[in-house]
Structure 1
Amino acid sequence: MALSSLIARLPYPSRPVQRAIAVAAIVAQAGIGVTGSVVRVTGSGLGCPTWPQCFPGSMVPVAHPEFDTLNQWIEFGNRLLTVVVVLVSALAVLAAWRVQIAHPERKRLVKLAWTMPGGVVLQAVVGGITVLAKLEWWTVAIHFLASTPLVWLAVLLLRAFNEGDEPARWLIPPLAKKLLVTLVVALWAILIAGTTVTGAGPHGGDPETHRLDAPIEVLAQVHGGLLVCYLLVLAVFGLVLMRGGTPAALWRRYAIVWVVALAQGVLGSVQYALGIPEALVSLHVLGSALVIVATAALWCGCRDRGPVTSAGPAPREPELTAARS
């Protein structure tokens, strides 16, 4: 395949380069959600009222009496950040593909890498629907929720660069594994409930957009109650791990989940008590991304796929490359 031949001529990515690209993917996938929240709380969601163009006949903002210039550029800036996500996603695919050329067994790594650009395409489509639907609250919710699995997958990609391809061997008891799955389900339940609170709240992205007609007090209580359930499952999970044999590295990941989740809970409570100020909304969105990252890291730390086999190019690869040239 011609494309594979071209990629095979690229320098083999070192371990630090592999790690840096995967970390960049995590930051990019999480960051686009945070910048999206800035668009929402500043009322800039329709600063570019069409999609994929910003205005009919123009890809960039243009002076318009009905649209504030600052709102236009905030929304357009968020769209430009998609370019950064695309570049990082492309680098992830190239790095994984280059590794797989040298180590053909690394098919899972390439599949994970391809979820990054695939997610960008999905988000672009959902984002376009959101704009065309004039920021209906449920489209905004879908737009946010579509980004959360991508953050999770980016963490798995980072792990995949640093592990082998053996079948997953769980390092925790069966009961702990069931609790971990329950913890992940609870996490997404919290995220879904959080979008309903946002849908009923004051920050819709545009003053004219429709809001969810439901009591925000009740929705916030449900959201908070699900966080309590998450923490209870996390506590029981820890008690099961105390039976012994748990690696120290896993305990560190477990502790990080507690710190991040508790901080997010406190932030959410303060945000609600203060009347949902704009700055705290974006911090809360950042916190949700950090909870996803911490939980995904805990998940990865609970199983082992053997040692990494792709720290460097295959022993005979230099000879093969020379023969091809």
Structure 2
Amino acid sequence: MRVLLAVPSSPARLHNLVPLAWALRTAGHDVKIAGRSSFVDEVLRTGCVAVDLEDGDAAGLAESAALVEFAELWRPEVVVSDARAQAGTLAARAVDAVAVRLLGALDEPDAGAADTTFDTVPPSLRDTGTGARAVRHVPYFGPVVVPNWLRRRTRRSRVLLSIADATLFEPVFAAVAGLDVEFVCATDPDRVPAGIAVPAGVRFVDSAPPAALLPTCAAVVHDGDAALALAAAAHGLPQLSLTGSALAARIAAAGAGHVGSAERIPELTADDALRGAAHALRDEIAALPAPRAMAAELTR
């Protein structure tokens, strides 16, 4: 079977499609991922075949004459689109293929125009009234090299600090001072504003790849990164989102995390109820149909 995937120029959105692409390829199907010229190298990094769509703006994929033209040439049976790649549905209609939409952490469900919609956000964190069908989220962040420092066992609980906004360092460091926890922060220490004391438990590293790091963590603190939030949920980790978002609010409502003040960081490793809710969310995600089941259903 020929399957064409359409994705806008967003690594997070591409990464949400990759587990399905791999499942389809492993099952023996011919899979290609279409994106803008500026995004082709990112597609190639997933190990998949890329289709270079030269026309249109650099970021979006709402419309693409090149995508429709390629579909008419290649004649895929199924076209899978990201929610922001509506051109995929148009291409499917042009060749009478099945139009499939795959939602991720960055999306909110709506009626849509696809024949079938799948959702990698678990039902407990999503309004399921639109008829989207749940599929297991498999975290993927691109190629990863396990850093040498991660090959050594830590003596303390480990928490990932994923902070892009430098103004958040001061309240975070104030909250973690004195805790017997290793806080891993993948940033240049020079980004910490002058005059802010760095607690002894904070460890700065060049890189902290979530695929390698999350299985070793007890919790995650982030600044609203939806992809990281969903990955933390899949690993059963309590989390704190320092900024609000719909997904973060639902995780907090499920009892698996908090939203807002850095003062709640100590609760992440000390609250048994929080940890239990995070484990329940992990188990819910693990029980959902895997991408290979979705691939088999598309074949049928």
User: Relative contact order, CA 8 A, sep 6+: which one is greater?
Assistant: 1
| TM-score over 0.5 for the pair | no
TM bracket (short chain) = under 0.3
> TM-score, normalised on structure 1?
0.25
User: Which is higher, the Rg of structure 1 or of structure 2?
Assistant: 1
> TM-score, normalised on structure 2?
0.27
Instruction: Indicate the structure with greater strand content.
Output: 2
